Amino acid sequence: MTILVTGGAGFIGSNFVLDWLAASDEDVVNLDKLTYAGNVHNLADLASDPRHIFVQGDIGDAGLVAALLKAHSPRAVLNFAAESHVDRSILGPLEFIQTNIVGTFHLLEQVRAYWGGIDAQAQAGFRFLHVSTDEVYGSLASRDPAFTETHRYEPNSPYSASKAASDHLVRAYHHTYGLPVLTTNCSNNYGPLHFPEKLIPLMIVNAQAGKPLPVYGDGQQIRDWLYVKDHCSAIRTVLQGGRLGETYNIGGWNEKPNLHIVHTVCDLLDELKPRADGQSYRSQIAYVTDRPGHDRRYAIDARKIEQELGWKPAETFETGIRKTVQWYLDHPQWVAQVQSGAYREWVATQYAQT
């Protein structure tokens, strides 16, 4: 048996592939374009593992996807491939439209053709699982109830709009063509192997380098935080038992303001690797102009997956964030490898003091 994972060299995808092969003997065909956030070093532990078949390529390459499906006959396709950073989508939305909408369309077309050509028993067991985000639901006021699976889509950035479109395509291919699909919408992930443009790894990396810790606006934007390995276990659970055509919200039950996250990271670093001058890393916090259209609050209601499938996160925020900070302290080589000159220039531009 084999599964095909797209975007399996990125943050969530690589964690999923590593966890899958640690718990299963089922082969993984891993298709990743290796853009700036796709990193083969994430998969270094699998270099000699014959169960992991890595292919560099684009989900929008119909010929390549068709050839992989024909050659490996997967029982499931899990789509992690996406451009996923809001800030980058504001500066350059075209890549997000191309990958998240057009790429997903081409992938669905090839999967539909493959699924239509396999025998009835294989068709009945096949699944297409699409990994999405809570950002498709828009922003919440402070006292609004958390997002449920039936919340209206109200995306507010080019990134979230492109993911919303991909979700709609997946739904349409189920209702129009009968493709056996599942969709998951997750809250903010954090954990090992996270490219240091997102909040938590950026704070850890900048703190260690003695650089400012940029906080947008007043830092009171609230997000629900989900440890990445909990997310991976939820995806496995949905793949195994989710109802066809359904959406499952995956959250950590950890609503925290961004400034609280930054303070927590600083306090853990003060404990685990204190500054030589004895000052707190909090002294490096620098407030910068808020980004355009910054959603104020996201919150996930994850009761559906718990009630239907029995899944709950294993980590609290306190246990997960400690593991995350420690991982970055233990893996300075990984950090150095992903910080190219282009990455440094982008961070300097994005978080310029104004």
pLDDT band at 55 (very low <50, low <70, confident <90, very high): very high
Q: How far apart are CA 55 and CA 60, in angstroms?
A: 14
* Mean pLDDT, rounded, for 40-62: 95
Query: What CATH number is given to the structural domain containing 32?
Result: 3.40.50.720
pLDDT of residue 41: 87
| Catalytic residue list | 134-135, 159
* Mean pLDDT, rounded, for 2-10: 97
Of the candidates 130, 81, 330, 87, the one whose C-alpha atom is nearest the C-alpha of residue 244 is 130
Q: 253's torsion region: left (phi>0), alpha (psi -120 to 50) or beta?
A: left
* Mean pLDDT, rounded, for 225-244: 98
**Is residue 56 a part of any domain in this protein?**
yes
- Cβ-Cβ contacts under 8 Å for 53 (sequence gap 6 or more): 27, 28, 29, 30, 72
pLDDT of residue 342: 59
Q: How far apart are CA 60 and CA 102, in angstroms?
A: 7
pLDDT of residue 28: 98
- pLDDT of residue 96 exceeding 70, the answer is yes
**Is residue 306 a part of any domain in this protein?**
yes
Q: pLDDT of 296-316, one tens digit each?
A: 999 999 999 999 999 999 999
Question: In this predicted model, which residue has the larger pLDDT, 337 or 182?
Answer: 182
Q: Which of 227-231, 292-296, 350-354 has the highest average model confidence (pLDDT)?
A: 227-231
Domains: count for the chain: 1
Q: Quick one: which H or E segment has residue 128?
A: strand 127-133
Residue 24, SS3 per DSSP: coil
- pLDDT of residue 193 exceeding 50, the answer is yes
Q: pLDDT of 114-139, one tens digit each?
A: 999 999 999 999 999 999 999 999 99
Of the candidates 212, 134, 144, 127, the one whose C-alpha atom is nearest the C-alpha of residue 178 is 127
**Is residue 245 a part of any domain in this protein?**
yes
In which domain, by residue range, is 147 found?
Answer: 2-190+226-253+298-314
pLDDT of residue 339: 79
**Is residue 288 a part of any domain in this protein?**
no
pLDDT of residue 349: 66
The widest CA-to-CA distance across the chain, in whole angstroms, is: 68
pLDDT of residue 348: 62
Percent of the chain scoring above 90 in pLDDT: 88
Q: How far apart are CA 288 and CA 22, in angstroms?
A: 41
User: What distances in angstroms separate CA 22 from CA 19, 28, 210, 339, one per listed residue?
Assistant: 5, 12, 36, 28
Q: How far apart are CA 252 and CA 290, in angstroms?
A: 25
**Is residue 145 a part of any domain in this protein?**
yes
Cα 340 off chain centre by: 21
The 3-state DSSP composition of the chain as helix, strand, coil percent (nearest 5) reads: 50, 15, 35
Percent of the chain scoring above 70 in pLDDT: 96
Question: Contact 234/299 with Cβ under 8 angstroms?
Answer: no
pLDDT band at 354 (very low <50, low <70, confident <90, very high): very low
Q: How far apart are CA 191 and CA 132, in angstroms?
A: 18
* Mean pLDDT, rounded, for 266-290: 97
**Is residue 46 a part of any domain in this protein?**
yes
**Is residue 106 a part of any domain in this protein?**
yes
To the nearest 10 degrees (0 to 180), the angle between helices 317-330 and 199-208 is: 50
Q: In the predicted model, what is the mean pLDDT of the chain?
A: 94
- pLDDT of residue 341 exceeding 80, the answer is no
One-letter amino acid identity for 352? Answer: A
Residue 226 backbone phi and psi in degrees, to 5: -125, 120
Question: Contact 20/93 with Cβ under 8 angstroms?
Answer: no
pLDDT of residue 328: 97
Question: In this predicted model, which residue has the larger pLDDT, 38 or 90?
Answer: 90
- pLDDT of residue 200 exceeding 70, the answer is yes
Convert 88-104 to b/e letters by CB count within 10 Å (16 or more is b).
bbbeebeebbebbbbbb
- pLDDT of residue 345 exceeding 80, the answer is no
pLDDT band at 353 (very low <50, low <70, confident <90, very high): very low
- pLDDT of residue 318 exceeding 60, the answer is yes
Q: How far apart are CA 103 and CA 96, in angstroms?
A: 9
One-letter amino acid identity for 4? Answer: L
